[in-house]
Structures are given as C-alpha cells and as structure tokens.
Amino acid sequence: MPHAEIDAPAALSVQPCAAPLGADVTGIDLSRPLQPADVQAIQQAWARHLVLRFRGQHALTLEGLARFSGHFGPLDLRPTASMAMSREHDELPPEITVISNVKVGGKPLGALGDGEAVWHTDMTYKPVPPKGACLYAAEVPPSGGNTHFANMYAAYETLSDALKARIEGLRCVHDASRNSAGELRLGYEDVSDPRQTKGAVHPIVSTHAVTGRKCLLLGRRRNAYIVGLDLAESEQLLDALWAHATRPELTWTQVWQVGDLMMWDNTCTMHKRDAFDPAARRLMYRTQIAGVATP
Ligand code: OGA
Ligand code: MN
C-alpha cells in the first residue's frame, strides 16, 4: 500500500528576539529551492513572530527574492514609477521595487529617499492592503536608516477596557495623498481638513485572516479621520491610539546588514525608518505579497 509522503524535517531554526515581535531564521539559504517543510515552518514562524529576519543571504538574486516571496502568496507588481525616477529599474523583474536614495544621472533609482519614513502600515489607503512585504539589503549606510516594527496585536491587547469599548465598531479613513516619506502621490491633492481625506475606510480593530486575533489597524497618522466623529474628537482619539501603539516597548529595531532579508506581516504590524546621511548609499530590493479580500 502506498504510504503518505512525509516531508523531511526542516533544517531551519527560529530564534525569537527579545522584543514583542521579530525572530531570526537561520539554517536556510534562500537562494536554493525551498522544501515544502521549509515553507510551512516559515509560515508558522511568520504567524507567530510577525516579522522574520534572514541574515547573510548573499547568494540571493532578484529572481530568487521574487521566487522566495512567491511562496507566501501572489506578488504585486512594481508600481509605475514617477517621471522624476530613473528608468534603470525597468530592467528588473516586474515584482521587484527599489527602495533607495542612490541617484543615477541625478534621478533616484528608487523610493523613499534618505529622510525619515514615518510610522505606517503599507498601502492601507487601498480597500485590500498588501498581506506582507520582503525587503532585502544590497547596500546599507554606516549608520542610520534603521527600520522599526511595532506589534499591533499587542497594541490592541494592552489598551484599557474603556478604550477597547470606545473603538469597537469605529472606522477610520486612511489617507492616500502622501507616502511615508511625506511625498505627494501622483494625481492627489494636498489635504488640509482630515474630514476631506480620500482613501479606503477600515475598522480600527481588525481580525487577522490567519490567526483570528484582533489587532489595531491605524495605517498612518497624517490626515486620518474617524468616520462620524467631530474632528476634535477624532484627533484626540487618534492621538491617544497612536501614542499607545508606538510605545518603544511594542517595537523591534532592525539594524541592517548587507544580505539581510526582512519579511513583515503587513496586516498586524507597523514600521518606520530612520533618516540617514544623504551622502551614504542605501539600496534595498522589495517585493510585496498581495492582500486577500475578506468576504
Ligand atoms: C517599505 C518601507 C522602510 C525601509 O519598503 O515599505 O517602508 O526601511 N521601507 O526602507
Ligand atoms: Mn512601508
């Protein structure tokens, strides 16, 4: 009688870091084909730790980065670049986006420049935000440019009962006009009154599609507005939630090394990036795992 095929146990190992989210995954070379058991072990670790770091992935090519990312869902294609951006990335695989301050012929190779990128969850101004992203470091500045991650399950769970009750059922508008580096997006006008904000509306408390756990979904602070409240009331409540959700004890900081690959669950975390010396080079390659519409 044929017996069920049993996958070889994964050789990789997962070391949680001393923070409320984040783990290092070792013992795996992501440039090589992944075994089903590896994919499963990574998926489990991802659900448990929200952000995974794979160090020393020096053999990974951009095709390899896209292939690895594709194990966790269909990938979004690189967004259309603005005219101000160099065309060099036209040569890259279509799933790869460049995040970089490096300029070629006076034009940036990629997005986000060298300034601070404020706390955000990626693309929550869309009705179905991405499920996650992978960011791979090809060149890092000698200092600065660190990326911080915050656990939005913990942010929800540590709210007072009064605040939990206050936000139950409330929905927030997520501003599409500016990116996390503060740049106005193509085709958008500046918003001065948050009640006029254009973007998707999401419940402030969301339920994770895989874990079923509740988490805060804040998106980004600028121009956010809680539907149906007075502006002053909305501002006050959002300020309280943001102050709570970005407390350092809910975060983990990634200090980049060349060859690091970070993979974050975009539906239960936020991230921000520190500024760095404009004279230094930072070159990162990014993939984005598409969101799944909930019925
Ligand atoms: C992103 C992002 C931060 C960084 O790629 O979505 O916010 O550290 N990047 O480059
Ligand atoms: Mn981002």
**CB 135 near ligand 1, within 6 Å:** yes
Among 72-81, 103-112, 175-184, 261-270, top mean pLDDT goes to: 261-270
Residue 89 confidence class, pLDDT cut points 50, 70, 90: confident
Average pLDDT over residues 183-212: 94
CB 225 within 8 A of CB 219: no
9 Cα to the center of ligand 1, angstroms: 33
* Atom 9 in ligand 1: residue holding the nearest Cα: 273
Residue 1: which residues within 8 A CB-CB, separation 6 or more? none
Sheet holding 147-151, edge to edge: 117-120, 269-273, 147-151, 251-254
**CB 284 near ligand 1, within 6 Å:** yes
Which of 211, 216, 131 minimizes the C-alpha distance to 171? Answer: 216
Average pLDDT over residues 113-119: 96
* Atom in ligand 1 nearest the alpha carbon of residue 282: 10
* Atom 4 in ligand 1: residue holding the nearest Cα: 273
122 Cα to the center of ligand 2, angstroms: 5
151-194 pLDDT per residue, tens: 999 999 999 999 999 999 999 999 999 998 888 988 898 999 99
Q: CA dist 239 to 3, 173, 182, 279, Å?
A: 58, 15, 19, 35
Residue 80 confidence class, pLDDT cut points 50, 70, 90: confident
Residue 7 confidence class, pLDDT cut points 50, 70, 90: low
Average pLDDT over residues 202-221: 97
**CB 262 near ligand 1, within 6 Å:** no
**CB 147 near ligand 1, within 6 Å:** yes
pLDDT at 223: 97
Helix (H, G, I), strand (E, B) or coil at 273: strand
Average pLDDT over residues 7-11: 62
Domain positions in the chain are 13-151+252-289, 152-245
Which of 291, 286, 290 minimizes the C-alpha distance to 111? Answer: 286
pLDDT at 8: 54
> Between vectors from CA 25 to CA 21 and to CA 27, what angle results, nearest 5°?
165
171 Cα to the center of ligand 1, angstroms: 26
Which of 111, 79, 64, 110 minimizes the C-alpha distance to 259? Answer: 64
Residue 4 confidence class, pLDDT cut points 50, 70, 90: very low
List, in sequence order, every residue forming a beta bridge with 273; answer none if it has no partner: 117, 147
Q: Which DSSP category does 59 fall into?
A: T
Average pLDDT over residues 53-58: 98
Homologous superfamily (CATH) for 13-151+252-289: Clavaminate synthase-like (3.60.130.10)
pLDDT at 2: 47
Substitution candidate for ligand 1 out of 109, 123, 281, 284 with most atoms within 8 A of CB: 284
Average pLDDT over residues 16-35: 97
Inform me whether the pLDDT recorded for 66 exceeds 50. Answer: yes
CA distance 50 to 23: 8
**CB 100 near ligand 1, within 6 Å:** no
Torsional class of 123: left (φ above 0), alpha (ψ -120 to 50), beta (otherwise): left
Residues within 5 Å of ion ligand 2, judged at the Cβ atom: 122
Question: Structure tokens of 107?
Answer: 């034009």
Question: Structure tokens of 23?
Answer: 């783990």
Question: Structure tokens of 205?
Answer: 């408390």
CB 75 within 8 A of CB 62: no
pLDDT at 1: 44
Average pLDDT, the chain: 94
105 Cα to the center of ligand 1, angstroms: 23
Residue 9 confidence class, pLDDT cut points 50, 70, 90: low
66 Cα to the center of ligand 2, angstroms: 18
**One-letter amino acid for residue 176 of the chain:** A
Ligand with minimal distance to 274 CA: 1
Residue 86 confidence class, pLDDT cut points 50, 70, 90: confident
* Atom in ligand 1 nearest the alpha carbon of residue 147: 8
pLDDT at 294: 74
Helix (H, G, I), strand (E, B) or coil at 70: helix
pLDDT at 15: 98
257-285 pLDDT per residue, tens: 999 999 999 999 999 999 999 999 999 99
For residue 161, how many other CB atoms are within 10 A of its CB?
7
**CB 122 near ligand 1, within 6 Å:** yes
273 Cα to the center of ligand 1, angstroms: 7
Residues in the chain: 295
DSSP string, 6-56: -PPPP--EEEE-SSSS-EEEES--TTSPPPHHHHHHHHHHHHHHSEEEE--
